[in-house]
């Protein structure tokens, strides 16, 4: 279990950095013309939303995920107040991109709101893409994991579909760690726990599009950041490339738009199922903060004082 959890976290960070060079480019022909297939880490493109970043760095999603990993490692598990404190510290002098959910959350904090109420009403899926570090201490306690996934998401994104997505992928990650194939597990989870949620429909839509070209399918679902657009594309990719982690990452990114969150979640799930493949491991080794991440992954519970 521990090896799969480490693989989930490493794949999540590798996917984020692989997307960095072409994040939020919606014109898929432009990505292909300018970069070919994105199979290697790239510096941000000209005009990027991430001009302060370099090759092997993270988007603002990856940076927030690293803060969550630091928090769980220091606390011996998820602690909302600790994550809240560290997240605020990240943005005190952050030179990376501030998305609308982040700006709104920071404004709410300035008004005196705490971690349970400061989150924006955003329905974007990006907060759900942060959850991989939670498995490090809570994979053996599903209820605690689900509560942590909810709380860390709501701290910045209180939209109902954003929160449900985090809990869905937490459940799916657990099933894959236990050896269940991702798509059969996704169907079971959607039917049992999300029967009256749009997630049930999005799972079916993604599976139905399994044989389509991902660029075409994701273009139809939508390339933007909302959970309603990103979610079925993730399922489509996992359906199509269930046994090929590195190809999933490439195709997630080549589909453009919100390719970082899309690739991060798909990477986490497939790595939970089969671990890292050689290509994804190589990408992780090229990250600027690989040593820091490796050190945090070896962290145990803090000593009892």
**What is the tens place of the pLDDT at every residue in 64-106?**
999 999 999 999 999 999 999 999 999 999 999 999 999 999 9
Count of beta carbons in the 10 Å neighbourhood of residue 126: 27
* Tokens 């990993």, residue located: 69
Q: DSSP letters of 254-293?
A: HT-SSHHHHHHHHHHHHHHHH---HHHHHHHHT-TTHHHH
- Both structure tokens of 279: 């290509």
Q: What pLDDT sits at residue 303?
A: 40
| Eight-class DSSP state of 128 | G
232 with 252: CB under 8 angstroms? Answer: no
86 with 67: CB under 8 angstroms? Answer: yes
Residues in the chain: 305
Residues of the chain short of pLDDT 50, as ranges, are: 301-305
Q: Alpha-carbon distance 267 to 275, whole Å?
A: 10
SS3 47: coil
Specify the fold of 2-42+54-297: ADP-ribosylglycohydrolase fold (1.10.4080)
- Both structure tokens of 46: 């000209």
Residues 6+ apart with CB under 8 A from 232: 202, 203, 205, 206, 209, 221
Longest dimension (CA), the chain: 58
211 with 240: CB under 8 angstroms? Answer: yes
Q: How far is CA 11 from the centre of its chain?
A: 10
Q: Alpha-carbon distance 13 to 292, whole Å?
A: 12
Model pTM score: 0.96
SS3 124: strand
Q: What pLDDT sits at residue 135?
A: 98
Share above pLDDT 70 across residues of the chain, in percent, rounded to a whole number? 98
Q: What pLDDT sits at residue 300?
A: 55
């Amino acid at each position: 279990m521990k090896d799969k959890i480490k693989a989930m976290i490493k794949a999540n960070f590798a996917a984020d950095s692989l997307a960095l060079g072409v994040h939020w480019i919606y014109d898929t022909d432009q990505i292909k013309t300018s970069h070919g297939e994105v199979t290697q880490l790239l510096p941000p493109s000209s005009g990027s939303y991430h001009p302060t970043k370099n090759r092997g760095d993270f988007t603002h999603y990856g940076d927030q995920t690293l803060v969550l990993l630091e928090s769980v490692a220091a606390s011996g598990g998820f602690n909302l107040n600790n994550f809240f404190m560290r997240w605020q510290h990240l943005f005190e002098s952050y030179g990376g991109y501030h998305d609308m959910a982040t700006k709104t959350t920071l404004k709410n904090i300035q008004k005196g709101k705490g971690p349970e109420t400061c989150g924006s009403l955003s329905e974007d899926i990006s907060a759900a893409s942060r959850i991989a570090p939670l498995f490090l201490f809570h994979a053996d306690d599903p209820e605690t994991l689900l509560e942590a996934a909810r709380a860390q998401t709501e701290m910045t994104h209180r939209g109902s579909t954003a929160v449900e997505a985090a809990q869905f992928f937490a459940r799916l990650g657990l099933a894959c760690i236990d050896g269940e194939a991702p798509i059969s597990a996704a169907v079971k989870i959607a039917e049992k726990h999300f029967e009256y949620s749009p997630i049930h429909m999005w799972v079916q839509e993604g599976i139905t599009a399994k044989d389509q070209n991902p660029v075409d399918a994701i273009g139809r679902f939508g390339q933007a950041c909302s959970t309603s657009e990103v979610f079925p594309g993730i399922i489509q990719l996992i359906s199509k490339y269930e046994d090929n982690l590195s190809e999933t990452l490439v195709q997630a990114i080549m589909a453009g738009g919100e390719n970082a969150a899309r690739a991060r979640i798909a990477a986490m799930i497939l790595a939970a199922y089969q671990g890292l493949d050689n290509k994804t491991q190589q990408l992780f080794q090229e990250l600027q903060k690989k040593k820091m991440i490796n050190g945090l992954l070896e962290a145990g519970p803090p000593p009892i004082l």
